[in-house]
Amino acid sequence: MRLTLSGILAVLLLAGAVAAIPADAQTPTCATAPVECTGWVVVGTATQRLRVYRSHPLDQANPAIQRALIVVHGGGRNADSIFRSGLAAAFLAGGAGTTLVVSPRFASNQGSECRDSIADGEIGWGCAGWRWGGPAPANDSVTTFDAMDATLRQVARKELFPNLRAIVVAGFSAGGQYVVRYAMANKVHDALGVPVSYVVGSPSSYAYPDASRPDAGDGTFQPFIDAQNCTTYHRWPYGLQNRAGYAAALTDDQLRAQLVGRPITYLLGGLDTTPEFGFDATCPAMAQGPSRLARAQSFQKLMTGKYGAKHALVVARACGHSDRCVFTADVALPLLVPRF
């Protein structure tokens, strides 16, 4: 039997991961992403369900689990693919048997670009609005942020995962847009009984906490000089104005305080400097910088310099806009799979 280079690497990866699993840990129920590795999280009523990929069942007790890694897909809504990236990170970090990897699927069949198949009882979402906590078209009282709340509550249940010590919520590309806004807005961070941290991977934009924007000339932050022509530059999801739904339940000051106080790391590819792969080139996004890397550098500088946040910026230098490369880089592993 012939093996491709990728096949050989996969065998070596799995072999190394198995060797690294503690003797008393359970091996993952799912080490790939077949249909059998999907499960459900109830959101609101029992008739509203979020489909997730998961490495261990979410409704069975598992004392081996020490951490949960929740990974959010990009604009292609390919939850199965980023689930595999999360699994790979757990293997490489030596935490395969003690890490619960979960990837929610924000499926949509709204519009020409979103034609996902949605199962009976599965919640469908807006084609773009899922990225910033938008509501379900069939039920505007349920948002994608409510869905993450429900997911975190499920994995934090002590009767199921009594030894859970940390939850990491990470997203890449459009998933990074989701995670940075969820970190700012969510109402469950302090109510789970388990510490939560956030890894914001290579998003195209951020929700700015004030109306200043980076000055391309000197790196300072100034009132946006083109505000008259780009009137949406500070509207949600790029800023705090005109919020609706989940994020509208909090005041501007509350959102700023939560954004500043929550443990957030911006994780970027060092080569993610080109306008490709769904790059947001609209005027409110371009007001934040010319590339994903530049936007992350500016936003982290604003948060740490002006607001005193302890937010880190970590760069996987050899990676472009690839979740597999960024999430399995050596610098990313301790962020996604913390050691105790």
- Exposure string (b/e) for 19-55, b if CB count within 10 Å is 16 or more? ebbeeebeebebbebeeebbbbbebeeeebbbbbbbb
What pLDDT, on the 0 to 100 scale, is given for residue 170?
Answer: 98
| Regions of the chain where pLDDT drops below 70 | 1-29, 31-35, 46, 217
The CA distance from 299 to 98, in Å, is 33
What is the residue whose two structure tokens read 């709340």? 149
Predicted structure pTM score: 0.90
Class of residue 116 by CB neighbours under 10 A (exposed 0-12, middle 13-18, buried 19+): middle
Q: Are 316 and 179 in contact (CB under 8 A)?
A: no
Tell me the DSSP string of 269-327: ETT--SS-SS---SHHHHTT-SSHHHHHHHHHHHHHHTS----EEEEETT--S-HHHHH
Class of residue 12 by CB neighbours under 10 A (exposed 0-12, middle 13-18, buried 19+): exposed
> 174: helix, coil or strand?
helix
In what helix (H) or strand (E) does residue 339 lie, and over which residues does it extend? Answer: none
Q: Are 267 and 200 in contact (CB under 8 A)?
A: yes
The CA distance from 184 to 241, in Å, is 14
Rg for the chain, CA atoms, rounded:
19
pLDDT digits (tens, 9 = 90+) for 146-177: 999 999 999 999 999 999 999 999 999 999 99
CA end-to-end distance (rounded Å), the chain: 41
What pLDDT, on the 0 to 100 scale, is given for residue 232?
Answer: 97
Domains along the chain with CATH numbers: 20-336 (3.40.50.1820)
72 DSSP β-pair partners = 171
What pLDDT, on the 0 to 100 scale, is given for residue 29?
Answer: 67
**Closest residue by Cα to residue 106 from 88, 85, 69, 132:** 132
**Closest residue by Cα to residue 319 from 304, 330, 334, 307:** 330
Residue positions counted in the chain? 340
pLDDT digits (tens, 9 = 90+) for 64-87: 999 999 999 999 999 999 999 999
What pLDDT, on the 0 to 100 scale, is given for residue 44?
Answer: 83
**Closest residue by Cα to residue 287 from 221, 218, 199:** 221
Q: Are 48 and 124 in contact (CB under 8 A)?
A: no
> How far apart, in Å, are the Cα atoms of 272 and each of 13, 275, 293, 295?
26, 9, 6, 11
Q: Residue 9 phi/psi, 5° resolution?
A: -60, -40
> 77: helix, coil or strand?
coil
What pLDDT, on the 0 to 100 scale, is given for residue 4?
Answer: 41
> 114: helix, coil or strand?
coil
